[in-house]
Structure 1
Amino acid sequence: MNFETGTFALGEARCPAESTQEIIARDKIPAPEWARSESYRYLGSEDVSKDRYIDPEFQKREFERLWTRTWQMACREEHIPEVGDYYVYDIGPYSFIVTRVAENEIKAHFNACLHRGTKLKPSNTAGSASEIKCPFHGWTWNLDGTNKNIPCQWDFGHVDKERMRLPEAKVETLGGFVFINMDPNAPTLAEYFGPEIMKHFAAWRLEDRYIYLHVQKSYPANWKLTVEAFQEAYHVADTHPQVAPANGDVNSQYDVYGEHVNRFISTLGVVSPNLYGQYSEQDIVDNFTMGDSSALGGAKPQLKEGERARQVMADMFRSMFEQAANTDLSHVSDTELLDTYSYTMFPNLYVFPGISLPMLYRFRPDARDHRRCIYEVMFMRPIPKDGPRPETAEVEILDDDQSFAEAEGMDPGFGKILDQDTDNLYAQQEGLEASAKPGITLANYQEIRIRHFEAAVDKYMAMEPFKPEW
């Protein structure tokens, strides 16, 4: 900082309030190393061109350059636990049958018959089979992709059955996720995410969780706008004012890792710096427990003199989650129980590894309309130590006019928050198309994740078109 002028160098300014790390440092049970780290870097202040959001040709080029070269979460291992189980993953014009071929082997076959191109399995389906058979003429493949049968083989003397193997994408697993990449020369998943993030994944042990609620809805905006709507807490005060009295929004922490991962940490149980002096510690708890839903199970705690709302909430969360999951959480830090840890794994996966809000977001472009995308929310719970493993939730697909709060099992309060973001996205898509300004202007710190994300987009868009091998 230049103390004579009171100005900061670009990228150095922060909210003039206690920082996220200062809040976390006062917790009773300390945070793990991965939560205490910081990794911000200044990436420039130039506007980002709006063409990437409104030009249909830009999305067409993304399908040729970006989606063919990036690691994408196709499903969870729990979706295909047994040999023969499959899960269909669609991304734009591409489609894959992700299949467990053997106990410790998973393949992702391009979902198209090599005869006349018929889709072998319908979109949004999963199941189990001993073979992969085309519904049109009956060409059949083994689970490993080798050709099993060509009806009327006598009429295909010109066809080499060995060559008629189903093409496949690269597959790797991490933390219970199944990732695919169409580029056979792509870096490994560890190289793609980087060593720091691999340490984070190891600490989270997400392979010990399962999806208990999965909701999908189409959004009226470009997929990148939708991804970016959730990459900052700067919008909380005006878009989600109901949560600001118990949420540290503008003093959230933002980090970037390598080229493909970024995150924020947004604290709970503290008042927004925008509202300092307007709410007491009791008010913070009261705000969090009011309304038609409560993460504290309907409890209305009364604070004793000198108690901090954040600590009372952490203690209550710990007790409630221990009972619900029948597990000991005495070793789990307060911040993991309370706070929002949001990681974007480029290009289209969000991981929320905390205890109170263990979720996944996945975003996919609509292949037929650059102004629309598919948005999925998946909620996770720890796998119980005793008893049978719970069933993995099937996806519930909402209509455009349905509220997220209507989804069976969705917390109504959280559903309202998602609906508020939907309204913003519709207005943002139309506003960008109407705007005379050729780009969007970003904050240097609070919106660094957006700049980092778009830098990765630019990296792939600068490459030559890539087509999967045949």
Structure 2
Amino acid sequence: MADDMSTLRREPHPISGAIYQELGDGRVRVDDPAKGTWGIFTSDGKWIEGDLTSADYHYLRYIGGPTLPAEKDIFWTMLPVGDLNPMSAFAMMPGRGGGDAQRPKVIAPYVPDPGKETPEGVRSSAHLPLEFFLENDRFKDRIPEVYKKSAPYPGGPKKVAVARFFEPKYHDLEMQHLWSKVWQMACREDDIPEVGDHILYNIGQLEYIVVRTAKDAFKAFPNACLHRGRRLCNHEGKKAALFRCPYHGWSWDIQGALKEITCEWDFPGVREDVARLPEAKVANWGGFVFINPDPEAISFEEYAGPAMIEHYAKLGLERRYKQAHVGKVIRANWKLIMEAFLEAYHSIATHPQLLLAGGDLAETRYDVFGNWSRLGHVNTNGSSAQRGIIMSEEQALASFRMAADVNREMMRVMIGDEVDDFSDTEMGEQSFNSLFPNFSPWGGWARIVYRFRPHGNNPDESLMEAILLAPWPKDRPKPPAAKLRMLEPDDPWVVADELGTLARIFDQDCGNVPDVHKGLKTKQPPYVIYSAYQESIIRAFHDRYERMLGLAEGE
């Protein structure tokens, strides 16, 4: 046992009340005072000794597994950005200073959430109507119209065949009918800040050169020479004037126009065929560069839809600073890892530490607007319907306004009096949203952006990336955008301490998904089931996926 127990983690479990105590060396002692039992476990769940022989897998990892340095164990929306430190405002708020007593832990036994009927269908017993918060917003005149809309996805539970997540034929269909047809985020504009700067965007076996061609213009070309197909670029680059094939020296300028065919005398009549590099369609939105390989594709704005465009209109994503960008290979299909972030239903089991603050997210709101989905819109996090804790309307309203006030003052440190243009609804928003098929820019001030992709042509692996986009003052030039930091597949996310406590959340989420992928290959009957409401955004994804790939229902 470690000599100084005061430096080790120790927390009660939010449901059982058992005390989880880190012992060091990846071991955790669990004491259940109600039963008078104890046990010692490894942080990955293996029992070692004691009469208590089972414990919460994710809590063991949270208490005894890899973690962040204390100075980095900060909620991600409070991370300092350069000399801008939102924590300075937080620390000065009444009852929140560094010297105040720690907030009490909320511990209560599990009880079934009975749900309740609402005009939109059955919801959690903690559900409150959207209109309740909108009508009680102290700045109602500032609320964008799209914030007032509700769009629950119709239908009941859906079954989907497990083969969709690992059989190569589905990857092949995705490459043919999905990735060659959809708008997909390639990079931030700040990743290629100067003319000629370029990155390589990969999706399956496809690779594109994405290049800035003018102050506000971008192009994307397949990364292949029109002579013999050799990759024109092996790496991203700076200030290129042309792309010259290393094999035989053929070259094209950054606009895609042919510069030179070496020994052109030997290629009579060929110049017209290779006069221009083929192009993918390109669009800019919110400071992101998107590409679509389909020359017949609808515009990005039409694809995203008016609800998405309006929802982010005031948030100024294009002005935000990319403070962190971390990626990792996940040993699971890309759809499985993405699905882990398209519902809050898993929180009570996967993120039990969050329940110590009260809420279990059962009242999370889910909307589907065409290709764009909105999760967690206008919620308060205090009820725990699965432990019989339901806030009153008065308590919920106080929590709603407190969250708005806290965020308003933290953001004032970062963007000044611009915060006074926003309603309580906007200031408190932390919605985790998604644009089909794989792009998730959160709403409000949460900073988070996700991207999920296949890892080459291997349906058993995927690439997950997390970006933090920090609010930034209008009148100050942004620092250079953070470069992508790729972790090793076996690295815990907490290696990337620039993500703050988000890294600890990821370690829990990504602790599930490889085991889901493996379990699906054994599962009988061979299908998964998605719920009517809490997993409705995943249902909507699979419905759209089926239509694009030409699959039968649930195939």
The alignment status of 1:201 with 2:312, answered yes or no, reads: yes
In structure 2, the residue matched to 1:436 is 524
Kindly indicate whether the alpha-carbon contact (under 8 Å) linking 2:158 and 2:539 is maintained by their aligned counterparts in 1: no
SS in structure 2 at match of 1:427: helix
How far the C-alpha of 1:169 sits from its partner, in A, is: 0.6
Q: Give structure 1 regions of 4+ aligned residues with deviation exceeding 4 angstroms.
A: 6-11, 26-31
- Name which of structure 1's ranges 25-34 and 77-86 shifts more when overlaid on structure 2: 25-34
Q: Following the alignment from structure 1 to structure 2, what is the Cα–Cα distance between the partners of residues 376 and 96?
A: 18
Match of 1:448 among 536, 540, 552: 536
Contiguous gaps of at least 5 residues in structure 2: 1-114
Q: Following the alignment from structure 1 to structure 2, what is the Cα–Cα distance between the partners of residues 168 and 7?
A: 52
In structure 2, the residue matched to 1:288 is none
Kindly indicate whether the alpha-carbon contact (under 8 Å) linking 2:360 and 2:386 is maintained by their aligned counterparts in 1: no
Task: Deviation per CA, 1:445-467: give whole Å up to 9, x if none.
Answer: 0000001001111111019xxxx
Distance 1:215 1:268, change over 3 A: farther
Task: Deviation per CA, 1:38-60: give whole Å up to 9, x if none.
Answer: 11131343311211102111111
- Name which of structure 1's ranges 174-183 and 318-327 shifts more when overlaid on structure 2: 318-327
Q: Following the alignment from structure 1 to structure 2, what is the Cα–Cα distance between the partners of residues 226 and 189?
A: 25
The alignment status of 1:82 with 2:209, answered yes or no, reads: no
TM-score, length of structure 2 as denominator length: 0.72
In structure 1, the residue matched to 2:366 is 254
Task: Deviation per CA, 1:302-338: give whole Å up to 9, x if none.
Answer: xxxx994554343233222211344541332334333
The alignment status of 1:226 with 2:337, answered yes or no, reads: yes
Task: Deviation per CA, 1:326-359: give whole Å up to 9, x if none.
Answer: 454133233433342122111110010211x122
The alignment status of 1:316 with 2:425, answered yes or no, reads: no
Match of 2:465 among 368, 372, 376: 376
SS in structure 2 at match of 1:372: strand
The alignment status of 1:121 with 2:233, answered yes or no, reads: yes
Match of 2:547 among 447, 454, 459: 459
Kindly indicate whether the alpha-carbon contact (under 8 Å) linking 1:140 and 1:149 is maintained by their aligned counterparts in 2: yes
Aligned positions of 1:324-403 closer than 5 A: 324-355=414-445, 357-403=446-492
SS in structure 1 at match of 2:219: strand
Kindly indicate whether the alpha-carbon contact (under 8 Å) linking 1:118 and 1:136 is maintained by their aligned counterparts in 2: yes
Kindly indicate whether the alpha-carbon contact (under 8 Å) linking 1:211 and 1:378 is maintained by their aligned counterparts in 2: yes
Aligned positions of 1:291-306 closer than 5 A: none
SS in structure 1 at match of 2:246: coil
Decide which structure has the larger Cα Rg and report it.
2
The letter of the residue matching 2:535 is E
Q: Following the alignment from structure 1 to structure 2, what is the Cα–Cα distance between the partners of residues 210 and 340?
A: 18
SS in structure 1 at match of 2:281: strand
SS in structure 2 at match of 1:250: coil
How far the C-alpha of 1:84 sits from its partner, in A, is: 1.5
Distance 1:337 1:10, change over 3 A: closer
The letter of the residue matching 2:251 is T
Kindly indicate whether the alpha-carbon contact (under 8 Å) linking 2:151 and 2:367 is maintained by their aligned counterparts in 1: yes
Distance 1:325 1:194, change over 3 A: closer
Q: Following the alignment from structure 1 to structure 2, what is the Cα–Cα distance between the partners of residues 272 and 337?
A: 23
SS in structure 1 at match of 2:122: coil
The alignment status of 1:21 with 2:130, answered yes or no, reads: yes
Q: Following the alignment from structure 1 to structure 2, what is the Cα–Cα distance between the partners of residues 428 and 327?
A: 46
Kindly indicate whether the alpha-carbon contact (under 8 Å) linking 2:329 and 2:463 is maintained by their aligned counterparts in 1: yes
Match of 1:12 among 121, 135, 151: 121
Distance 1:204 1:313, change over 3 A: closer
Q: Following the alignment from structure 1 to structure 2, what is the Cα–Cα distance between the partners of residues 338 and 10?
A: 25
How far the C-alpha of 1:173 sits from its partner, in A, is: 1.6
SS in structure 2 at match of 1:203: coil
In structure 1, the residue matched to 2:98 is none
Q: Following the alignment from structure 2 to structure 1, what is the Cα–Cα distance between the partners of residues 358 and 232?
A: 50
In structure 1, the residue matched to 2:107 is none
Contiguous gaps of at least 5 residues in structure 1: 1-5, 285-305, 464-470
Match of 1:237 among 348, 353, 356: 348
Report the count of equivalent residues: 431
Distance 1:10 1:126, change over 3 A: farther
The alignment status of 1:58 with 2:170, answered yes or no, reads: yes
SS in structure 2 at match of 1:215: strand
Task: Deviation per CA, 1:118-148: give whole Å up to 9, x if none.
Answer: 222235x343211111223322111111110
SS in structure 2 at match of 1:329: helix
How far the C-alpha of 1:11 sits from its partner, in A, is: 7.8
Q: Following the alignment from structure 2 to structure 1, what is the Cα–Cα distance between the partners of residues 374 and 397?
A: 30
Distance 1:27 1:318, change over 3 A: same
How far the C-alpha of 1:167 sits from its partner, in A, is: 1.0
Q: Following the alignment from structure 2 to structure 1, what is the Cα–Cα distance between the partners of residues 525 and 196?
A: 53
Match of 1:132 among 243, 255, 271: 243
Match of 1:157 among 253, 268, 271: 268
Q: Following the alignment from structure 1 to structure 2, what is the Cα–Cα distance between the partners of residues 436 and 151?
A: 60
Aligned-residue RMSD, C-alpha: 2.7
- Name which of structure 1's ranges 307-316 and 212-221 shifts more when overlaid on structure 2: 307-316
Q: Percent identity?
A: 36
In structure 2, the residue matched to 1:409 is 498
Kindly indicate whether the alpha-carbon contact (under 8 Å) linking 1:20 and 1:253 is maintained by their aligned counterparts in 2: no
Q: Following the alignment from structure 1 to structure 2, what is the Cα–Cα distance between the partners of residues 277 and 346?
A: 35
Task: Deviation per CA, 1:18-54: give whole Å up to 9, x if none.
Answer: 3262673445455543323211131343311211102
